[in-house]
């Protein structure tokens, strides 16, 4: 039942119950509270929404306006929406599906505000699903995609909940109203860190889906003449088609491996945090924010490249590509808008750079910032060697982080306040953070293909894919590598020719590489990407089912076209 509900469309949305509401209980509730709500959520005996974003605030969580004011006389919190812009807006399932919500609200007790905290609020009756007293609910209306999900709005008019409905694993309020501090104020944000980490796998799966569709279709589709008089070739024989699709295919594998690392890091660091060691939280936040931003942005662009590579049929919903693009586009905004998330990573990098300048040896994903030499030693590099390629990406990132941080220091030396200096360097900071995440993805890809337990023939194919991904990144961002002479023009030319060679080398394995994602036709939901390749018959069947084909002459003819034609003919 629960699994069936997960896939239900048609106006109800239970995705967020699984990926946000239930994990919030797992991560933010006490053991007592878990006994009360966790099993109900896991068995879908209640359906929940994660209600944080408001009409007026999504990114700036500290600016949320919903209030939770503690009343010691009744030992209750009063949840209230004081302004129109405080209306909860966007949460998946909030409009029509959920009967509970974890509500992020500014906590007030004894007249003092302690910032945003999570509260469990029942929003609909378990008997008749009507909104609870004081709660106003609704759907926010049609969106770019995912219109099967009821992203909703909620307003609270002094709704009273028991003190025990504050999720109190980290911070708590005692019966007399005393606020007890959490080990870190950012622990209230821990479920966002978790969800951003899962977006890396969502991006990988979305890009894997799109490349599966486009590569399979590119083997079915024959078009034009490569040589006069010869049969029309598969469009995947065109180098331009390979240049469009294979870097996206390589990125899907790169992001899939990056999500493995993200999952392992999240487990290990949150495990340490359970024992009171918060030292890994900053790195976890920076990594999850940067990877979420980078992988979802590349994925959204990559899906549109796949869509365009399929010509007109790619633009049809029959391909499944418009829906994938719409979903991936959502991932760029939801769970932390990409620009804001990449700036969080930049903030961490600037901090680490300053520590490195002060002599601290850096570790983890920023260790390379200490190791990379500022003065490059140019020379004929072996641009097909993975170690060379990884080092190039790390040098590029270190140079850009140093440049952005020094620019900021320069602005402050001119007398600018730190915040103004930050803002005036934020484009440089974003590019440096992107370079940092890109270098992490390349390094992790290279380390994974060298260590993953596979047959050596498979390792050879994955190595080619990793080289292709890295060489594509170097040629697409050549200026960054040339800027301080670390790579020369000859190196870039070598990278381009190796890239062409990699396109040809990956071609024979392209279909096997997408089949390896093992995405069933029911998941792909694409006529173009069908496993059996019978595209044209099923495209025709798909079109015949279009609602417009229910009648031979559509009612709009009689309503609009017929009178219009008649009046135009009468004027002749």
Asked whether 293 and 341 are in contact (CB, 8 A), the reply is: yes
Contacts 24+ apart (CB under 8 A), 445-454: 445/253, 445/254, 445/257, 445/258, 445/469, 445/470, 446/386, 446/387, 446/389, 446/390, 446/470, 448/257, 448/260, 449/386, 450/386
Q: Count residues contacting ligand FAD (CB under 6 A)?
A: 23
C-alpha–C-alpha distance, residues 140 and 464, integer Å:
46
Q: Name which of 91 and 197 has its Cβ closer to ligand FAD.
A: 91
Residue 88 Rama label (left phi>0; alpha psi -120 to 50; beta): beta
- Stretch near ligand FAD under the rule CB under 6 A, chosen from 87-95, 435-443, 473-481, 523-531: 87-95
Closest by CA position to 213, among listed 528, 448, 2: 528
Q: Name which of 2 and 340 has its Cβ closer to ligand FAD.
A: 340
Which of positions 19-38 make contact with ligand FAD (CB under 6 A)?
20
**Candidates 54, 65, 76, 335; catalytic one:** 335
Q: Which residues bind ligand LUOH5OJ7 (CB under 6 A)?
A: 15-16, 20, 50, 52-53, 58-62, 92, 146, 186, 189, 192-193, 202, 205-206, 209, 281-282, 285, 324, 327-328, 330-331, 334-336, 340, 344, 347-348, 351, 519, 523
Whether residue 335 lies in the annotated active site: yes
Among ligand FAD, ligand LUOH5OJ7, none, residue 205 binds (CB under 5-8 Å by kind): ligand LUOH5OJ7
Which residue of this chain has its Cβ atom nearest to ligand LUOH5OJ7 in the complex?
Answer: 327
261 binding ligand FAD? (CB under 6 A): no
C-alpha–C-alpha distance, residues 192 and 537, integer Å:
45
Among ligand LUOH5OJ7, ligand FAD, none, residue 428 binds (CB under 5-8 Å by kind): none
Count Cβ atoms below 10 Å from residue 554 Cβ, excluding itself.
14
Closest by CA position to 318, among listed 550, 15, 9, 534: 534
Longest Cα–Cα distance in the chain: 90
Q: Name which of 81 and 242 has its Cβ closer to ligand LUOH5OJ7.
A: 81
Which of positions 287-326 make contact with ligand FAD (CB under 6 A)?
none
Among ligand LUOH5OJ7, ligand FAD, none, residue 151 binds (CB under 5-8 Å by kind): ligand FAD
HSE-up (13 A, CA, CB side) for residue 393: 30
Q: Is 484 exposed, middle or buried (0-12, 13-18, 19+ CB in 10 A)?
A: middle
- 92 known member of a binding site: yes
Residues in contact with ligand FAD, shown as a per-residue x/- string from 42 to 81 under the rule CB under 6 A: --------xxxx---xxx----------------------
Q: Is 1 exposed, middle or buried (0-12, 13-18, 19+ CB in 10 A)?
A: exposed
Among ligand FAD, ligand LUOH5OJ7, none, residue 347 binds (CB under 5-8 Å by kind): ligand LUOH5OJ7
- 387 known member of a binding site: no
Question: What is the SS3 assignment for 312?
Answer: helix
C-alpha–C-alpha distance, residues 331 and 325, integer Å:
10
Contact with ligand FAD (CB under 6 A) among 147, 185, 270, 339: 339
Residues in binding site: 53, 92
Binding site for ligand FAD (CB under 6 A): 16, 20, 50-53, 57-59, 90-92, 146, 151, 330, 333-337, 339-340, 343
Residues of the binding site for FAD: 53, 92
Residue positions annotated with a catalytic role: 335
């Amino acid at each position: 039942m629960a699994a069936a509900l997960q896939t239900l469309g048609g106006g109800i949305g239970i995705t967020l119950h699984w990926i946000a509401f239930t994990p919030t209980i797992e991560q933010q509730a006490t053991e007592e509270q878990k006994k009360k709500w966790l099993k109900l959520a896991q068995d879908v005996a209640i359906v929940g929404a994660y209600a944080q974003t408001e009409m007026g605030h999504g990114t700036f969580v500290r600016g949320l306006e919903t209030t939770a004011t503690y009343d010691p006389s009744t030992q209750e919190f009063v949840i209230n929406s004081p302004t129109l812009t405080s209306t909860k807006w966007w949460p998946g399932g909030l409009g029509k599906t959920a009967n509970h919500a974890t509500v992020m609200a500014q906590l007030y007790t004894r007249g003092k505000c302690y910032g945003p905290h999570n509260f469990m609020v029942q929003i609909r009756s378990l008997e008749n699903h009507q909104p609870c007293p004081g709660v106003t609910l609704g759907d926010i209306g049609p969106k770019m995609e995912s219109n099967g999900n009821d992203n909703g709005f909620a307003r609270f008019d002094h709704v009273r909940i028991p003190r025990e409905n504050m999720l109190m694993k980290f911070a708590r309020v005692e019966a007399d109203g005393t606020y007890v501090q959490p080990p870190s104020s950012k622990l209230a944000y821990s479920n966002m860190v978790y969800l951003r980490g899962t977006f890396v796998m969502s991006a990988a799966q979305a890009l894997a889906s799109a490349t599966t569709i486009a590569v399979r279709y590119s083997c079915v589709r024959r078009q034009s003449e490569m040589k006069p008089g010869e049969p029309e070739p598969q469009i995947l024989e065109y180098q331009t088609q390979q240049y469009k699709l294979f870097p996206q295919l390589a990125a899907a594998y790169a992001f899939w491996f990056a999500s493995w690392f993200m999952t392992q890091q999240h487990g290990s660091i949150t495990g340490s945090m359970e024992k009171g060691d918060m030292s890994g939280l900053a790195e976890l936040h920076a990594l999850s924010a940067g990877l979420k931003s980078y992988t979802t942005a590349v994925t959204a662009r990559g899906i549109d490249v796949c869509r365009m590579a399929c010509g007109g049929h790619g633009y049809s919903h029959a391909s499944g590509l418009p829906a994938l693009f719409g979903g991936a586009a959502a991932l760029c905004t939801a769970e932390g808008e990409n620009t804001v998330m990449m700036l969080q990573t930049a903030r961490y990098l600037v901090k680490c750079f300053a520590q490195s300048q002060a002599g601290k040896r850096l570790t983890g994903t920023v260790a390379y910032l200490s190791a990379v030499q500022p003065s490059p030693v140019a020379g004929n590099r072996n641009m097909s060697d993975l170690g060379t390629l990884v080092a190039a990406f790390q040098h590029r990132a270190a140079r850009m982080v140093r440049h952005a941080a020094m620019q900021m220091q320069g602005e402050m030396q001119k007398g600018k306040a730190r915040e103004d200096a930050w803002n005036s360097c934020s484009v440089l900071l974003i590019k440096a953070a992107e370079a940092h995440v890109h270098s992490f993805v390349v390094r992790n890809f290279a380390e994974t293909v060298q260590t993953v337990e596979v047959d050596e023939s498979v390792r050879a194919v994955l190595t080619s894919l990793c080289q292709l991904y890295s060489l594509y990144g170097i040629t697409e961002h050549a200026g960054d590598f040339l800027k301080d002479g670390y790579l020369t023009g000859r190196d870039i030319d070598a990278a381009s020719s190796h890239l062409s060679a990699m396109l040809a080398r990956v071609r024979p394995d392209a279909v096997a590489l997408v089949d390896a994602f093992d995405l069933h036709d029911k998941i792909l939901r694409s006529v173009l990407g069908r496993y059996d390749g019978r595209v044209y018959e099923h495209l025709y069947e798909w079109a015949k089912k279009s609602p417009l084909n229910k009648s031979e002459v559509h009612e709009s003819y009689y309503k609009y076209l017929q009178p219009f034609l008649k009046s135009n003919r009468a004027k002749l």
